[in-house]
Structures are given as structure tokens and as C-alpha cells.
């Protein structure tokens, strides 16, 4: 593992999904907080900006979701959404009906980390007795449990990525 030395532990770092084409903008943006709530994360849109350009609308949005897993472990997932050259288009849905969608370039950047000792109950100052006991606890006592949490966060983040990719056509 070796991650007892790191806090937070980066489980997914800057995973980028890029797509040019048709997407359902409204459903994509509703899916972000919905997924987070479904998985018991507290969703928060940290920033949002839009501006019109000659080639379409440019949107930047940054989301963060956090979830307390135990008294010691917390998961944090972020997704940055960049939409460029966004314009409305008419497409046919599965039933042959004309529906409004958007066309443009999409970039999603995912990050996931596991924060340990998030309540700061243990003194983590270098050289402190608390830091020594924390290292022993994470390396020997809770090692397999922490590894399972890392795997769980990885699986959840992968599901989040696949869910959002489902709004691209």
C-alpha cells in the first residue's frame, strides 16, 4: 500500500474524458448532483460560469462531493466540466420524435481522493507521538480496511464516469 504516508490518498487523479458531438446538456448537469446524492455524497457546485462566443456557448462548472465513510475516512470526488462551442440542434430520439439536444466539445476531469483522519483527532505533526501511532495504525492495524476503501472509491468513481458518459451520443 504505502499510502499511509499520504493524506489524502489520490485514488483517481485527473482522469479526462473528451468528446465532440451531440449531448444532452440538461440531463448531464442534473445527473451530477443526482449521482452524488444517490451514493450519499454531499454535492456542491463550487463554481459555474457561462459566456457566449462566436462559435457557441462556453461553460465551466466545477463540482465536489464528499461523504463520511467512517469516523476516520472520508471520500471526496470532484468533476470539472468544460463545454465549448455549445449550440442547440434538433435530433430524433429513439421513438423518432424531434428533440432538442446540444452539439459541442465536452471535457470532463475527474478526481477522487480518500482523506484519512479528516476530523484531525490525531496529531499529524511530523515527529509527534500521534503521527507515529497513526502510521502504525494505518500500516498494520487498518491496512486491509483502508485498501478496501480505496477500491470502493475507485469503483464508485468509475461508475460516476460511466454514468456521465451515458449522456453523450
Q: What are phi and psi of 97, to 5 degrees?
A: -90, 140
Going by the DSSP 8-state scheme, the letter that residue 131 receives in this structure is H
Here the cell at position 45 is 457546485
pLDDT digits 0-9 by tens, 6-40: 778 899 999 999 999 999 999 999 999 999 999 99
Rg (CA), the chain: 20
Question: Cα 104 from chain centroid?
Answer: 22
Nearest to 55 by CA among 82, 85, 83: 85
pTM surpassing 0.95? Answer: no
Q: Are 159 and 151 in contact (CB under 8 A)?
A: no
Q: What is the mean pLDDT of the chain?
A: 90
pLDDT digits 0-9 by tens, 144-154: 888 999 999 99
Local confidence band at 93 (pLDDT 50, 70, 90 cut-offs): confident
- How many other CB atoms are there within 10 angstroms of residue 76's CB atom? 18
Cis peptide bond upstream of 57, omega within 30: no
Amino acid at each position: 500500500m504505502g499510502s499511509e504516508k499520504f493524506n489524502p490518498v489520490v485514488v483517481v487523479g485527473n482522469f479526462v474524458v473528451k468528446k465532440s458531438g451531440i449531448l444532452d446538456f440538461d440531463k448531464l448537469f442534473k445527473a451530477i448532483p443526482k449521482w452524488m446524492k444517490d451514493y450519499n455524497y454531499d454535492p456542491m457546485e463550487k463554481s459555474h460560469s457561462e459566456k457566449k462566443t462566436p462559435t457557441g456557448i462556453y461553460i465551466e462548472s466545477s463540482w465536489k462531493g464528499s461523504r463520511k465513510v467512517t469516523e476516520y475516512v472520508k471520500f471526496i470526488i470532484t468533476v470539472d466540466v468544460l463545454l465549448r462551442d455549445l449550440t442547440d440542434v434538433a435530433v430524433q430520439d429513439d421513438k423518432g420524435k424531434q428533440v432538442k439536444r446540444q452539439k459541442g466539445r465536452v471535457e470532463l476531469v475527474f478526481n477522487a481522493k480518500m482523506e484519512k483522519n479528516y476530523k484531525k483527532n490525531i496529531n499529524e505533526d511530523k515527529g509527534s507521538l500521534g503521527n507515529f501511532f497513526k502510521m502504525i495504525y494505518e500500516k498494520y492495524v487498518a491496512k486491509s480496511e483502508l485498501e478496501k476503501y480505496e477500491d470502493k472509491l475507485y469503483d464508485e468513481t468509475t461508475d460516476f464516469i460511466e454514468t456521465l458518459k451515458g449522456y453523450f451520443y
